[in-house]
Structure 1
């Protein structure tokens, strides 16, 4: 729902649980970062953070002011600009990208009483540099480790944000997604992650891949917390709507959201071939059915041309959009075009390309056919939206689409790259269409978290959060807890 700006903070604050001592909480989070990220298992989730005194003072002031977030701490993926620190996208080429600016979503976050606790590691350049990368690695931050099993992957590209919240380093985090980069790390790290409808959150001052598909979104420990954070950051760039910018309360109705009478469409062919993931998913469907939902099986295969069209779009927009961002940075950076970034990597082989190359960067630099791009964008949008999600919802008269989000975390392997199970999940549909996609934990496979996806029509963000909250209450599965050790088979009864 939309609320007039004059009342937004007071109204939204009513839906937020009180914080006992925001300053003490901020200090506690920083202590955990020092103990578990900088030392101990060295998760490498956080690149830089506030000093404890500054964090505590900011949190206490926001709590005392009665603002929406009440001094809650938020970690921010390091492709989103914050005024205190450089924004590197994980690349040494942007190590000096100190713009002194807050992205509009960060300005909104602070205005709502959130404390930007630090910046998180990510898959370098948001995982668009190479098709053979290891998710969670960047030249700036190294390899992020999964709190549930430190030899396992955190998925990309919001890897540090996912690992950090799972490890208890902040109340919540900001991730960004082009295709899977909020939902995959959230699923693998046992979190709620929400990729909103593209356009709901400002894209300005975020190191881009694709203006068609990029969006920031919340990663948190519950649907309510994700919705509360989204309420703080949602909205277009200031001034676009003129006086009276509208604000949004995405927590409204979550406490009473119900699955009763809802028709849930199961993307059966996206369940994949892992029998343990399938068993978790069937248990989740049983929980929803017990809560009053009607389960509807859907027969859908994503057309192969949708993925190839998406790649053309991403490569074309990467060259264009990243080039525009680099050219416009006020910082003294050595790269101003994608070609410059390619040259920088070639000149810093050992630091930047020891583990994988930049073949996607090189391919993007030659993807310049505007007419082919326009056709690919029209085709991908049509196949994922009107002929994809919209048609599935309308033809089967279902309210939401569900599937497992992704399989359990795979072993990190810098030498050979990622080796995840590609048969599981259907998140590309929502990513390409620009529609909302929520993942919620549904259990664990051998101690490794797995999430369930809720996807719906454009601008149905509040409805998707409602489905997630209702499922969260109905869920009977036991969730895993982080071990901060290498994976080993859990004991069986």
Structure 2
């Protein structure tokens, strides 16, 4: 067999399917063996939390369907890993990395999982994640969960993985799956995407459904694609689209959502684009090495005809301080989610999670549960706290109206460009989209990316820019896993 699994794109796989060189069943077996060899042995990268016992049967059925009826489309037979907070109504658990929810099964698929199955994707399993999307305690490292253990960064094991979609990002980087789905509240797609040299699309909140995903925040949560190429990320994004009447956030996308985002994969997308760089504030923590990588990416954009607007500063950036919005929304959102699991679910509330952890401290409380306790006992869960209401109002004003909106209008920009995921706080509170793409590596081999961001439902523009940069730089390289064996 000439097919090469490592770094294989969706198109590579579809070509192998069409030529008869590969079947979906054989592909699943290749991924499973790679997971066994590199994720569970050797260095124990630990990005894959659970394998779907039905994956091979699903693959065989899809092979049979392809032979007798033809392909459903680009995702037919493509193995996908899901972050462990995304419901699947099958033999897989949905635990958000928590041992308290280790025996918790969802009653039905999340809406986006339904769409993936309709597109012919194979749910390969669940990816490890930072427990409760890094809302468990202070001082817990990114990529750690009591149920899954610590995810390691395959490029440099002394470097963090980023949170909380760490398993999704690392599994993609290591070719343990073709593509994966992560979720973001504030940087949880962009941050691990940056640190694993992968492409992460954090969509506008409301572009794709949030139903059936264990939540952190009503205001900011969204799922999104993680892939090794912009094209694959966009193909996965297409498969996640749909009209979910049970998600009220989706009502705002009417007339703004596109049916096929691959039409925006324009190699010349940077030509003539006005890209603003908020040099004030967002660059203060960069090392000289990281700044050099960023500036090299900017120079590549200039060479492709982009108009770079320096010092397109977000005037409200220093006003974007601590917000109690997520802190107050978590208890209400989590309890609502748990209540929908039904009376036979092992855990029914945040309080029961805290009690479970308290009764199993050695297994569950390596880093404590201070955030869970504080949320449970200092918020009402009714969202009536004055500070919550004021913070929510302030977030929208400083991040949307007076922040990104005002900056883009003042400088007539198509997009803003941030180093790594450093703009995640302002974009997430605004509910606005971003795409992180690889930009280079430090001398220690640590990946560094750049993030394009813009106003609501500007995914077409961001895809053009990200794809054009990727095609002209071709900077991404696979991690060298063999040295770990």
TM-score grouping bracket, smaller chain normalisation: 0.7 to 0.9
Match of 2:86 in 1: 80
1:275 matches 2:288: yes
Distance 2:61 2:100 in 1: 31
Distance 1:359 1:290 in 2: 49
Equivalent residues of 1:62, 1:70 under 8 A apart? no
SS of the aligned residue for 1:216 comes to: strand
Match of 2:407 in 1: 392
Deviation at 1:259, TM superposition (A): 1.1
| Equivalent residue in structure 2 for 1:459, among 453, 457, 470 | 457
- Distance change >3 Å, CA 259–CA 142, structure 1 → 2: same
- Distance change >3 Å, CA 66–CA 180, structure 1 → 2: same
Of 278-287 and 139-148, deviating more is 139-148
Equivalent residues of 1:162, 1:186 under 8 A apart? yes
1:117 matches 2:133: no
Distance 1:315 1:261 in 2: 42
Deviation at 1:234, TM superposition (A): 1.9
Task: Give deviations 1:113-147, integer Å, cap 9, x for gaps.
Answer: 11111111000011111131111011111101112
Task: Give deviations 1:345-374, integer Å, cap 9, x for gaps.
Answer: 2222111112x1222222222123433222
Deviation at 1:63, TM superposition (A): 4.5
SS of the aligned residue for 2:427 comes to: helix
Distance 1:123 1:458 in 2: 27
Deviation at 1:300, TM superposition (A): 3.4
Match of 2:51 in 1: 49
Match of 1:198 in 2: 205
TM-score, normalised with respect to structure 1: 0.86
Distance 1:313 1:191 in 2: 29
1:66 matches 2:68: no
Distance 2:231 2:56 in 1: 29
Deviation at 1:257, TM superposition (A): 4.6
| Equivalent residue in structure 2 for 1:26, among 25, 28, 32 | 28
- Distance change >3 Å, CA 136–CA 93, structure 1 → 2: same
Match of 1:335 in 2: 347
SS of the aligned residue for 2:72 comes to: coil
Distance 2:34 2:65 in 1: 22
Match of 1:431 in 2: 428
Match of 1:169 in 2: 176
Q: Number of paired residues?
A: 452
Distance 1:485 1:134 in 2: 25
Distance 2:350 2:139 in 1: 19
Match of 1:131 in 2: 138
Equivalent residues of 2:46, 2:151 under 8 A apart? yes
Match of 2:96 in 1: 89
Deviation at 1:50, TM superposition (A): 3.2
Match of 1:261 in 2: 272
Match of 2:7 in 1: none
SS of the aligned residue for 2:224 comes to: strand
- Distance change >3 Å, CA 95–CA 332, structure 1 → 2: farther
Equivalent residues of 1:26, 1:55 under 8 A apart? no
Equivalent residues of 1:281, 1:404 under 8 A apart? yes
Deviation at 1:268, TM superposition (A): 1.2
Deviation at 1:459, TM superposition (A): 0.7
Match of 1:419 in 2: none
Residue pairs, 1:376-415, within 5 angstroms = 376-406=391-421
1:474 matches 2:479: no
Q: Give the gaps of 5 or more residues in structure 1.
A: 1-12, 407-424, 488-493
SS of the aligned residue for 2:159 comes to: coil
- Distance change >3 Å, CA 398–CA 70, structure 1 → 2: same
TM-score, normalised with respect to structure 2: 0.88
Task: Give deviations 1:211-235, integer Å, cap 9, x for gaps.
Answer: 1000000000111110110000023
1:156 matches 2:163: yes
Deviation at 1:331, TM superposition (A): 6.4
| Equivalent residue in structure 1 for 2:320, among 288, 306, 316 | 306
Match of 1:371 in 2: 386
Distance 2:441 2:368 in 1: 33
Deviation at 1:466, TM superposition (A): 1.2
Equivalent residues of 1:163, 1:189 under 8 A apart? yes
- Distance change >3 Å, CA 223–CA 62, structure 1 → 2: farther
Match of 1:37 in 2: 39
Q: Give the gaps of 5 or more residues in structure 2.
A: 1-9
- Distance change >3 Å, CA 373–CA 258, structure 1 → 2: same
Distance 2:189 2:231 in 1: 17
Residue pairs, 1:183-262, within 5 angstroms = 183-237=190-244, 248-262=259-273
Distance 1:268 1:59 in 2: 50
Distance 1:444 1:301 in 2: 31
